[in-house]
């Protein structure tokens, strides 16, 4: 790969690659590498490198993957919300250069999401890249028959205990549905969600991530960050991040505000960039003037902190 000549292009328009790659399960197939990202394509047994230059152009190496890589960018986030909530309208304009990536294989999405459970995204990315290389591409049959001790070692940095999750849920997918989750694409959302949650090692957030990022269902995947930002901005009256609070936040976002699933990426971006757990950056926040700042108080000498 080092001998390839960088190819510059901007077919996707103004893409904020960092935002695009940091907030969605689909992007975790791309592993941080140098100043960019690396993805393994099993069908060609090659790694592909993607980077953004200072002028915003995208570099892809090898050049022959140009169209394939760019085709994975689906649409910018200014298309994810068309309601009347002022906060979301402002956020979709602010993050208009962040893109949603195309849906991918639901089984791959399931495995990546399991790897993220209680771990950082970067840890999951490295582990997934290692798995892909070791097995020359993973699928439900390879994982169902994987050697448990070998798999534990391969995923050690993301939690060796998850080997049991991966093997058992893969076997269940084969036994119940002939090895495919594709039927869930057209199934009622609640039916598909319950089916996913019946798999060993799959909880509410994991199920919602697969439904949203792989199967096209409009659900909000709620975690502690979504809870925090939703509380502070008044999108939800729930407090804290208990399981009960997460259920309330999910109901408020999906039913009360009717927020499309992909629009919750705007909330994640806000939490990551400005609405931080400790000392949120109010002076820089794009919605500072309309945010009620619930659950935050002033502390002399420290600025605004969480109560």
pLDDT digits (tens, 9 = 90+) for 113-162: 999 999 999 999 999 999 999 999 999 999 999 999 999 999 999 999 99
Pick from 245, 208, 200, 33: nearest CA to 113: 208
**pTM > 0.75: yes or no:** yes
Q: Which phi-psi region, left, alpha or beta, contains residue 258 (left: φ > 0; alpha: ψ -120 to 50)?
A: left
CA atoms lying within 13 Å on the CB side of residue 93: 7
Q: What's residue 8's pLDDT?
A: 38
| 228-306, CATH topology level | Endonuclease Iii, domain 2 (1.10.1670)
167 contacts 155 by C-beta, under 8 angstroms: no
**Span 178-185, mean pLDDT?**
98
The span from the CA of 75 to the CA of 72, in Å, is 9
CB 60 within 8 A of CB 7: yes
Mean pLDDT of 218-228: 93
Which residues face 95 on adjacent strands? none
Give the pLDDT band (50/70/90) at residue 12.
Answer: low
What tokens does 74 get?
């689906």
Which of the four CATH numbers 3.40.50.150, 1.10.340.30, 3.40.50.12780, 1.10.620.20 does domain 106-213 have? 1.10.340.30
- Give the other-Cβ count within 10 Å of 209's Cβ: 24
Instruction: Give the pLDDT confidence score for residue 23 in this predicted structure.
Output: 87
Task: Report whether pLDDT(165) > 90.
Answer: yes
Specify the pLDDT at position 297.
Answer: 59
Q: Is residue 180 predicted with pLDDT exceeding 80?
A: yes
Domain pair 7-101 / 228-306, same fold: no
Determine the Cα–Cα distance for residues 244 and 249; give it in Å rounded to an integer. Answer: 9
Instruction: Copy the structure tokens of residue 238.
Output: 């729930």
Angle at 260 between CA 238 and CA 177, to 5 degrees: 100
Judged by average pLDDT, the poorest of 91-100, 196-205, 208-217, 235-244 is: 235-244
Q: Does residue 56 surpass a pLDDT of 60?
A: yes
| Residue 277: Cβ within 10 Å count | 11
Burial grade of 241 (CB within 10 A; 0-12, 13-18, 19 or more)? middle
Q: Does domain 7-101 have CATH number 3.30.310?
A: yes
Q: Is the pLDDT of residue 269 over 90?
A: yes
Confidence category of residue 307, pLDDT binned at 50, 70, 90: very low
Q: Domain boundaries in the chain?
A: 7-101, 106-213, 228-306
pLDDT at 301 over 50: no
Rg (CA), the chain: 20
Cα 180 vs. chain centroid, distance in angstroms? Answer: 21
């Amino acid at each position: 790969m080092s001998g390839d000549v960088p190819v510059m292009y901007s077919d996707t328009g103004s893409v904020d690659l960092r935002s695009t790659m940091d907030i969605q399960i689909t992007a975790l197939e791309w592993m941080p590498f140098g100043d960019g990202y690396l993805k393994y394509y099993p069908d060609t047994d090659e790694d592909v490198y993607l980077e953004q230059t200072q002028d915003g152009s995208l570099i892809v190496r090898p050049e022959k993957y140009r169209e394939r890589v760019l085709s994975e960018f689906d649409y910018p986030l200014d298309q994810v919300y068309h309601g009347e909530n002022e906060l979301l309208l402002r956020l979709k304009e602010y993050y208009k250069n962040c893109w949603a990536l195309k849906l991918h294989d639901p089984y791959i999405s399931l495995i990546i999401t399991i790897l993220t459970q209680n771990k950082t995204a970067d840890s999951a990315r490295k582990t997934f890249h290692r798995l892909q290389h070791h097995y020359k591409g993973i699928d439900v049959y390879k994982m169902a028959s994987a050697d448990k001790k070998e798999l534990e070692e391969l995923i050690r940095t993301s939690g060796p205990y998850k080997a049991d999750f991966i093997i058992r849920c893969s076997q269940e997918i084969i036994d119940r549905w002939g090895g495919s989750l594709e039927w869930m694409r057209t199934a009622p959302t609640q039916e598909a969600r319950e089916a996913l949650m019946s798999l060993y090692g799959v909880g509410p957030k994991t199920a919602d991530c697969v439904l949203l990022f792989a199967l096209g269902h409009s659900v909000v995947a709620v975690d502690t960050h979504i809870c925090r930002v939703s509380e502070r901005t008044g999108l939800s009256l729930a407090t804290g991040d208990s399981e009960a609070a997460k259920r309330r936040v999910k109901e408020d976002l999906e039913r009360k505000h009717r927020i499309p699933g992909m629009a919750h990426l705007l909330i994640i971006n806000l939490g990551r960039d400005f609405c931080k757990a400790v000392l949120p950056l109010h002076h820089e926040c794009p919605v500072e003037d309309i945010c009620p700042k619930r659950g935050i108080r002033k502390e002399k000498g420290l600025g605004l902190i969480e109560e």
